[in-house]
Structure 1
Amino acid sequence: MTITTTGETTGFADLQLRPELLTALAGLGYEEPTPIQREAIPHLLAGRDLLGQAATGTGKTAAFALPILHRTPRPADEPDPGALVLVPTRELAVQVADAFHRYGREMGVRVLPVYGGAPIGRQIQVLKRGVDVVVATPGRALDLIDRDVLRLARLRTVVLDEADEMLDMGFAEDIEAILAQTPPQRQTVLFSATVPPRIDGIARRHLREPVRIEIARPEREVGRPPLVRQRAYVVDRAHKPAALGRLLDVEAPTAAIVFCRTRDQVDELTEMLNGRGYRAEALHGGMSQDQRDRVMGRLRAGTAELLIATDVAARGIDVEHLTHVVNYHVPSDPDSYVHRIGRVGRAGREGVAFTLAEPREHRMLKSIERATGHKITIEKIPTVADLRARRLELTRAALRESLLTDDLEPYRVVVETLSDEFDVMEVAMAAVKLAQEAGGAAGDEEEIPEVAHRPPREGRDGGPRRERRAAGPPPEGMTRLFLGVGRRAGVRPQDLVGAIAGESSLRGRDIGAIEIADRFSLVEVPEHAADEVIDALRRTTIKGRKTIVRRERQNPGQRRPR
């Protein structure tokens, strides 16, 4: 059964939710359900299994949280949880648990987020006291199940949230192991921004006659721009920092996320943008959870306007007033692109997503266009004249607001004194000039050279040509890493994929061939990310142990695993 949204308006009261939930929603200022909530909640209240496809930021959390809370017995009559929500990252675990608390505040529902990187002892203590809902990352959930403190025998509902992200991070086997220990009569709910074949496979194995809901893209009205304006700029690598600064100056975002591939790039761009006068904050895997929480607090409070982040660090993050998403590089796959730009253009507000593409990355843009069905317009980097005009426009707008709202009487004496010697228009022009210079004049800017780009050459099937994988050296653009752990340490391919995807900016599909011998493993990764992956894996453990990680040494005597 497949459902697409109809657009009909329905209030939360029409969904027959219990009064405590309606009170909480009214207190939070929620007036009517989003499309995914309107379509999913009735089926979930009826106990149906459900596969929902909707982008990040469409209200998926409330779509499954409200039915779970509605069906939770009050007062609590059992210590073991009635619902388990699996999420890919600890940031999302905290965010989802917080939503349960806010929606269920009138009910006193007991909710516990559990994830790696936090003391497991406290989580065990809370579980022993009793909880109603557990929101967990798969690895920590499995650990607690193995310790017999997270008991699943009484589960009524299991939710897989951001399921495609969990698979990309290598959690497929953990998810299967967890679901195998849940009651067969449970309700199973799966939400995902995309539904590749692997997601369909999980749905076929674990969902019983599910309702399938797909949030249809709203049709574009004549003369009305799409909610997310997507464009790209082709620029040489050496000029990308200057191009980013120029574009942000012209766009003047209220709040933006700039996605980078590596931690070093995050730190470098954060320093550069702060030097340009922005309030920029860095977010990457090298930061502690407390540091991340402080950064997000400043962004949500409006004391920071730019978040410079890696994909891994930004997973699960939701900022209500976000206006721009910037891809400092072309994302490595269409799904990643969809996840990123889905953070803007919400609640009827227009958002902007722009990408800085090096000439060799133009083909990747075409792949994203084909996969998403959306045109990405290639535009020219604004010139110094464009920047000067934009700054003048911002100054004009600021002056107009001041004329309408500020008390300017204390400054009259300055204008009157100067008007005895100069024309009032000249006085005003000088004031505008000083305001421009105070805000950073464009006089010291240099033109960013245009890059001529060629359309990608295509194969006979109409798609971009792909390199053949050779048996010897890694494919072009890839490099092979040596890890000092292998089969004897119990290492499996999914362990290596999960470690790399969880600690670096790469996703599971970016990783190439994996070969595992008794005492070592070889993994192919993109050349541009090799140093980042080496640094990330040296900081973490694989199967509970630190390991040697380096580029493979090509020497004739080294035996290759079969």
Structure 2
Amino acid sequence: MENDPFESVAGFAALGLRAELLRALTSLGYEEPTPIQQEAIPPLVAGHDLVGQAATGTGKTAAFALPVLQSLTAGRRDAGPGALVLVPTRELAEQVSQAVHRYGRELGVRVLPVYGGQPIGRQLQALARGVDVVVGTPGRVLDHIERATLKLGDVRTVVLDEADEMLDMGFAEDIEAILAETPESRQTVLFSATMPPRIDGIARRHLRDPVRITMGRKGVEPGELPLVRQSAYIVARAHKTAALGRILDVEAPTSAIVFCRTREEVDQVTETLNGRGYRAEALHGGMSQDQRDRVMGRLRAGTTELLVATDVAARGLDVEQLTHVINFNVPAAPEAYVHRIGRVGRAGREGSAITLAEPREQRMLKAIERLTGQRITLEKLPTVTDLRARRLELTRTALQASLETDDLERFRVVLDSLTDEFDVENIALAAVKLLHEAAGGDVEEEEIPSPAPSAGDRREPRQGGGRRDRPSDSSVARLFFGIGRRAGLRPQDLVGAIAGESGLSARDIGAIQITDRFSLVEVPEPAADMVIAAMQRSTIRGRRPTVRRERFVR
């Protein structure tokens, strides 16, 4: 008797998925649905709207992609898409598009990712031929709508993935405008790692009696370690790079992501870590998509230990074997912290989330604790003595592994030739010394001083008001954009474009001034050249404006 081809995905079969999707899941090695897939797929297949709170790594892409594919008519060749998925970044657009393509291979589904930084001609040709599912960033989707190259009249399902990230990047009005172009009878699905009031507002306005599901991390049995160990070190800014190297030496991560704020910071930290002997790679908005893909391939293959990245460049990236997430700075938004630590502690493995905080940033740690309901343990920075002890422990471990597994007999002739003149114990100690020195030897570093107590964060952004606060951590550069009010430009267009294309956090963008013909935007001075380079390759409201430093002091 032949084996049932669907036996390996029996849990998915019970959710009422069509045979073509079950065969695709079998070929991809899926076995049982994750909790969010178990909860979300049945109501979505039944046609209900849904609000899901779920972090990265819970399987939410399949949770909405499979019902979307289930609803598509086999062999449909309508010009307009049947489903639209909105995501915050180009990386996530590519990732979701690839997943939908894999799941819907037998259905012949035509999937198109649309985002800025990609030649628009290719997108126009694909849209003209007809697509079934569009996965895109709000800015580029709205651009196509305004060009009349994307018509959403046939859309049956709209998915807002990582909705909180999209709002943080300034896409709220774009999302509203896009939803207004879709039929009122559509099914609407919203996924978000956090549920601030703004997300509830969108759900109330655009979803009809939605099913609500919340997926946290797997509970921990009494006495077990948490899946994510959260800790922080208080370090003065001048000593943060040295502190990072020392923490990595002690933690010895198998695979880690270090999050930085700007491209310049990413490059500086990467260079320092490589100089310390680590295999570190940079990932930021100043790199081409091919460069990013090569970096991620080396990380997944294990030839790179550390990925040093900006938030935007790393969004949507899913690396299964990560053991550590390290915040070189405290994230400006507590929600960003939730997204970052969602990348570790998966599949029952313990992960570590480590944050380097300046003294004035301790109140930001408290805000994160309030959001997550979990304590972040303040740790004491490892001393030089701690580091020396750790390196000696690594030497002992290497020796133990050699004694247990290696063929040592061929070295006996060396030992025999030395025992006539030296004591065996001294020979062993000399061999240990040589191994220890070859692995880096004793630490010749100065102690990192403890930071002075903070008198409070006097530069904390003001609350309320219509004007965006200036970036507070460095001098400010004012950039000129050759596009203004006459092109329909809004502040959120600039914030979304800069954050989406350059890797700069939306919260690091300062005051914005829009005139009829041009606009001025304040950004941190260290990030100015990176923003200019990124924006010169991008479009805003369908145009590619001149972007440069302001030439005159006002």
TM-score calculated relative to the size of structure 2: 0.89
Find the partner of 1:532 among 527, 533, 551: 527
- Aligned residue in 1 for 2:202: 202
- Aligned residue in 1 for 2:95: 95
Which letter does structure 1 place at the counterpart of 2:204? R
Deviations 1:17-54 (A, max 9, x none): 22332233233332222111111011111111101111
- Aligned residue in 1 for 2:404: 404
Q: 1:524 Cα deviation (Å)?
A: 5.8
Superposition pairs of residues 307-386 of structure 1, within 5 angstroms: 307-386=307-386
Is this contact kept in 2: 1:380–1:450, CA < 8 A? no
Q: 1:149 Cα deviation (Å)?
A: 3.4
Superposition pairs of residues 110-189 of structure 1, within 5 angstroms: 110-189=110-189
Q: 1:426 Cα deviation (Å)?
A: 2.9
Q: 1:507 Cα deviation (Å)?
A: 3.6
Q: 2:230, 2:400 → 1: CA distance?
A: 31
Is this contact kept in 1: 2:36–2:60, CA < 8 A? yes
Superposition pairs of residues 269-288 of structure 1, within 5 angstroms: 269-288=269-288
**Range with bigger deviation, 60-69 or 168-177:** 168-177
Is this contact kept in 2: 1:257–1:309, CA < 8 A? yes
Q: 1:331, 1:465 → 2: CA distance?
A: 13
Superposition pairs of residues 402-481 of structure 1, within 5 angstroms: 402-453=402-453, 477=472, 481=478
Q: Sort the Cα spacing of 1:136 and 1:227 in 2 relative to 1 into closer, same or farther, 3 A.
A: same
Is this contact kept in 2: 1:345–1:351, CA < 8 A? yes
- Aligned residue in 2 for 1:85: 85
Deviations 1:160-183 (A, max 9, x none): 111111111122222222211112
Q: 1:192 Cα deviation (Å)?
A: 0.7
Deviations 1:375-422 (A, max 9, x none): 111111111221122222222223333333333332232233333433
- Aligned residue in 2 for 1:193: 193
Question: Does 1:546 find its partner at 2:541?
Answer: no
Question: Does 1:48 find its partner at 2:38?
Answer: no
Deviations 1:203-233 (A, max 9, x none): 1111111111111344443222221111111
Find the partner of 2:485 among 487, 511, 514: 487
Q: 1:471, 1:374 → 2: CA distance?
A: 33
Superposition pairs of residues 158-307 of structure 1, within 5 angstroms: 158-307=158-307
Q: Sort the Cα spacing of 1:19 and 1:401 in 2 relative to 1 into closer, same or farther, 3 A.
A: farther
- Aligned residue in 2 for 1:4: none
Q: Sort the Cα spacing of 1:350 and 1:206 in 2 relative to 1 into closer, same or farther, 3 A.
A: same
Find the partner of 1:498 among 485, 496, 499: 496
Q: 1:282 Cα deviation (Å)?
A: 0.6
SS at match of 2:304: coil
Deviations 1:496-553 (A, max 9, x none): 222332244444345455443445555566xxx3441465146525553114444994
Deviations 1:458-501 (A, max 9, x none): 9xxxxx98758899997793858464654345332212222332
**Range with bigger deviation, 18-27 or 331-340:** 18-27
Which letter does structure 2 place at the counterpart of 1:444? E
Q: 1:67, 1:473 → 2: CA distance?
A: 40
Which letter does structure 1 place at the counterpart of 2:190? L
Q: 2:469, 2:73 → 1: CA distance?
A: 57
Unaligned runs of 5+ in 2: 1-8
Q: 1:477, 1:106 → 2: CA distance?
A: 53
Q: 1:128 Cα deviation (Å)?
A: 2.8
Q: 2:361, 2:88 → 1: CA distance?
A: 28
- Aligned residue in 2 for 1:29: 29
Q: 1:317 Cα deviation (Å)?
A: 1.3
Q: 2:408, 2:24 → 1: CA distance?
A: 45
% same residue = 68
Which letter does structure 2 place at the counterpart of 1:92? L
Q: 1:233, 1:552 → 2: CA distance?
A: 42
Q: 1:439 Cα deviation (Å)?
A: 1.2
Q: Sort the Cα spacing of 1:30 and 1:245 in 2 relative to 1 into closer, same or farther, 3 A.
A: same
Unaligned runs of 5+ in 1: 1-8, 459-463, 555-562
SS at match of 1:325: strand
Q: Sort the Cα spacing of 1:318 and 1:367 in 2 relative to 1 into closer, same or farther, 3 A.
A: same
Is this contact kept in 2: 1:469–1:475, CA < 8 A? no
SS at match of 2:105: coil
Q: 1:51, 1:471 → 2: CA distance?
A: 30
Is this contact kept in 2: 1:538–1:549, CA < 8 A? no
**Range with bigger deviation, 65-74 or 244-253:** 65-74
**Range with bigger deviation, 329-338 or 166-175:** 166-175
SS at match of 1:387: helix
Q: Sort the Cα spacing of 1:110 and 1:517 in 2 relative to 1 into closer, same or farther, 3 A.
A: closer
**Range with bigger deviation, 226-235 or 404-413:** 404-413
- Aligned residue in 2 for 1:69: 69
- Aligned residue in 1 for 2:4: none
- Aligned residue in 1 for 2:19: 19
Q: Sort the Cα spacing of 1:473 and 1:390 in 2 relative to 1 into closer, same or farther, 3 A.
A: closer
SS at match of 1:297: helix
Q: 1:152, 1:465 → 2: CA distance?
A: 42
Which letter does structure 1 place at the counterpart of 2:262? T
Which letter does structure 1 place at the counterpart of 2:82? G
SS at match of 1:356: strand
Q: 2:403, 2:106 → 1: CA distance?
A: 47
Q: Sort the Cα spacing of 1:71 and 1:404 in 2 relative to 1 into closer, same or farther, 3 A.
A: farther
SS at match of 1:31: coil
Q: 1:55 Cα deviation (Å)?
A: 0.9
Is this contact kept in 2: 1:170–1:498, CA < 8 A? yes
**Range with bigger deviation, 11-20 or 262-271:** 11-20
Which letter does structure 1 place at the counterpart of 2:514? I
- Aligned residue in 2 for 1:6: none
Q: 1:260 Cα deviation (Å)?
A: 0.9
Q: 1:103 Cα deviation (Å)?
A: 2.1
Q: 2:351, 2:278 → 1: CA distance?
A: 20
Q: 1:476, 1:265 → 2: CA distance?
A: 16
Which letter does structure 2 place at the counterpart of 1:133? V
Q: Sort the Cα spacing of 1:419 and 1:26 in 2 relative to 1 into closer, same or farther, 3 A.
A: farther
Is this contact kept in 1: 2:50–2:211, CA < 8 A? yes
Q: 2:350, 2:272 → 1: CA distance?
A: 28
Q: 1:454 Cα deviation (Å)?
A: 5.0
Is this contact kept in 2: 1:362–1:455, CA < 8 A? no
Q: 1:538, 1:271 → 2: CA distance?
A: 21
SS at match of 1:319: coil
Q: Sort the Cα spacing of 1:106 and 1:430 in 2 relative to 1 into closer, same or farther, 3 A.
A: farther
